Amino acid sequence: MTRRLFLRVIASLAAVFLLVVAISITQYVRAHPRDPLQQNLASWARENKMGAVVDKLEVWLHNDPPAVAPADSLALAITPVTDATARTSTTLVVSPSQSSTSTSVPDLITPLIIRPTVAISSCPIDPTTATVVTSTTTTTSTTTTLPIPGTSTTTTTTTIPAKPADIPSQLLPALPSEGTWQAIMRVRTKPIVYATSIRPLWCFGSVVATMATFDPTRVHTAMFNGTEMPGGKGWKNSSKIHGTALRSLIASFNGGFRFEHQPGGYVTEGKTVRKMRKGYATLAISQDGTSTVGVWGETITDEGSWTSLRQNLPPLVHNGKSVYANYPKVDWGQDFDNKVYNFRSAVCLRTDGLMMFVAVGKVNIGMLADTLVVLGCKIGMELDINGQWPYFAVYSDFGKATRWGEVIDNRMGDPNRHLNGSTKEFFALFDPDTLPAGAVK
């Protein structure tokens, strides 16, 4: 074979290979038209055993720390339903903060004041120069009680507040509504989900977190199974919410890492997809739909009362303190050196008994843990990260057969992802009083 012929053969083989790859990518993207192209390309690569390449690219793309200069707007993407203008319907309105003509900008003449409320490793406080300010906000409480996760021999309860206490701003002047919890979802006129947005790290003012809270005893939580994670067939709770359960849908949020990142256990619908790991943070759902976050083998045990269990990694926060540094060999998302800064999500059990979803960026794993401490988490676990995987949506037209989603943060993706089908597992909240028996597992 001549050299020219050899080169022609190599070029032809390369062209065929590229054509096959292009067709495969096109088919994958067409199957997930609502996801961003970058997210589709990463998922396609991981599905085709190229996860190591994706990891290296993500490290390269996300190695710049967040800016110190404070953000001049928050990320809350929906207009809160205030008590003064309560809506009996659950129709959601796009926040004015998304409009280019109505972005709120603080008074540039007013000097910036730093007032850290919690000592954290990302932004250490010098006690000789900094004044620590604690919140004096008070809240009313309901009579709802929630078991505090513990051993099978000891059970205590705590009163869950009707509304979470507002979070003091770490920077002054505070942005409009910063840290003020507002109802964003009501069921039969009663607030069921609250949300707010805040700049949680005073030394990295560009970092913005958006949070949503709910009383786990007032909703029925269920885990749904994605087409790729965990994959497989025969799931009662499949990759999308549909059927009779749709009328009772309140909210939904993302799950954890893909399995190649070596997360912990995955148990649901009587199947053990991945074995539970002792010492790992666990989102657990009981038979009555009550959810909690705890540590497997410590605050949550295998007592036969759990219908779904999802682990990701060890806890980020335990007993209100950052503990991620206790696990130096854990891959928090290619973040062994704490130098990968991206959009991350987490879920935690707060010290007041409420469950809270958190989306914050761009941060490394230490900043995420510190954010959870600032926000009042008792036990917290990291969920999915990067791109638009962090996700929390509430849904309009409660009680109707046709529903529409609205994400709580303007950095999130398709608001109807969990209605149209998801490649990854997710969690959904339902109204237990109207949810038909057997509609979800």
SS (H, E, C) the chain: CCHHHHHHHHHHHHHHHHHHHHHHHHHHHHHCCCCCHHHHHHHHHHHCCCHHHHHHHHHHHCCCCCCCCCCCCCCECECCECHHHCCCCCCCCECHHHCCCCCCCCCCCCCCEECCCCCCCCCCCCCCCCCCCCCCCCCCEEEEEEECCCCCCCCCEEEEECCCCCCCCCEECCCCCCCCCEEEEEECCEEEEEEEEECCCCCCCCCEEEEEEECCCCCEEEEECECCEECCCCCCCCCCCCHHHHHHEEEEEECCCCHHHCCCCEEECCEEEECCCCCCEEEEEECCCCEEEEEECCCECCCCCEEEEEECCCCCEECCEECHHHCCCCCCCCCCCCCCCEEEEEEEEECCCCEEEEEEEEECHHHHHHHHHHCCEEEEEEEEECCCCCCEEEECCCCCCCCCEEECECCCCCCCHHHHCCCECEEEEECCCCCCCCCCC
Q: pLDDT band at residue 128, thresholds of 50, 70 and 90?
A: very low
pLDDT at 102 over 50: no
Residue 188, pLDDT > 80, answer yes
Of the pLDDT bands very low, low, confident and very high (cuts 50, 70, 90), residue 25 is confident
230 prior amide bond cis, ω within 30: yes
> Cα angle at 35 between 31 and 39, to 5 degrees?
105
Q: Does residue 28 carry a pLDDT above 50?
A: yes
Taking 70 as the threshold, does the pLDDT of residue 352 lie above it?
Answer: yes
- Check: CB of residue 69 under 8 Å from CB of residue 207: no
pLDDT at residue 55 in the model: 64
What confidence tier does 134 reach under pLDDT thresholds 50, 70, 90?
Answer: very low
Length of the chain: 441
Both tokens assigned to 77: 């993407």
For range 179-198, the mean pLDDT: 96
Residue 411 tokens, joined: 């950095």
Averaged over 7-26, what is the pLDDT? 77
Q: What distance in Å separates the CA atoms of residue 200 and residue 170, rounded to the nearest whole number?
A: 6
Task: Name the residue with higher pLDDT: 243 or 57.
Answer: 243
Position 94 pLDDT exceeds 50: no
For 153-171, what is the mean pLDDT?
A: 78
Token pair for 231: 């994959």
Query: Left, alpha or beta for 400 (phi > 0: left; psi -120 to 50: alpha)?
Result: beta
Q: What's residue 141's pLDDT?
A: 38
User: Which is nearest to 161 in space by CA: 137, 197, 189, 196?
Assistant: 137
Instruction: Give the per-residue pLDDT at 97.
Output: 41
- Which of 112-116, 167-171, 369-373 is predicted with the least confidence, judged by mean pLDDT? 112-116
Bigger pLDDT: 382 vs 24: 382
Among 83-92, 205-214, 389-398, 411-420, name the one with the lowest average pLDDT. Answer: 83-92
Ranges 218-222, 253-257, 284-288, 335-339: which has the least confidence: 335-339
Q: What is the average pLDDT across 133-161?
A: 45
Residue type, 57: L
Highest mean pLDDT among 10-19, 50-59, 144-153, 209-218: 209-218
Q: Residue 418 and residue 240: Cα distance in Å, rounded?
A: 5
**What is the mean predicted confidence (pLDDT) over 23-37?**
73
Quick one: what percent of the chain has pLDDT higher than 70? 79
Q: What is the mean pLDDT of residues 90-104?
A: 40
- Which tops the pLDDT comparison, 229 or 95? 229
Would you tell me how many other CB atoms lie within 10 Å of the CB of residue 430?
A: 25
- Least-confidence region, from 4-18, 186-200, 201-215, 407-421: 4-18
Q: What is the mean pLDDT of residues 423-437?
A: 97
Is-contact 399 434, C-beta < 8 A? yes
The pLDDT assigned to 81 comes to 64
